[in-house]
Amino acid sequence: MPNRTRLCAAVAVTTALLTAGPLALSAQAVDAPTAPAVTAAQQSRAEVRVNSFFRDYRQAVLHKGPSTPAQVRARYLAPDLDKRLDAWALQHDADPVFRAQNVPATWATRYEGSGAGHSTVVLTERWSGGAKQEVWFSVRLQDLVINDLKDPAS
């Protein structure tokens, strides 16, 4: 890729991230290779969307935001995913987004790949005791709706 093209791509990604506000995106997000059908801006938009959802959801669970957890889920998630998360919570007696009974202290996101109009974003949760776990999100690129959330494949 010529230097001018790289510079333009970097400017587009930086602009997308700056207009989204302060976020906890990992450095890997900007440097990750992009699948041919997905632009760097789309890739970043999926990460921004997952990060925004997680931030807003965490704030709601901690009663520090204007919305309830259910309102945040309704705003960001596909309705069928929201129903599946309710079932997961009943089965596991844990928060279905955090995949745990407590709230992670920090998190980071990274782009994992794209195909068929979706991007996969991996969110790594970290707890104050040092434990961490990954949760994999699928984001529909046409409207940035999160339509799947699951544990990583074993």
Give the pTM. 0.72
What's the CA gap between 27 and 109, in Å, rounded?
A: 9
Q: What is the mean pLDDT of the chain?
A: 79
Residues 72 and 66 sit within 8 Å (Cβ to Cβ):
no
What's the CA gap between 91 and 31, in Å, rounded?
A: 38
What's the CA gap between 33 and 40, in Å, rounded?
A: 8
Read off the tokens for 141. 């690129």
Q: Tell me the percentage of the chain whose pLDDT exceeds 70.
A: 71
Give SS3 for 138.
strand
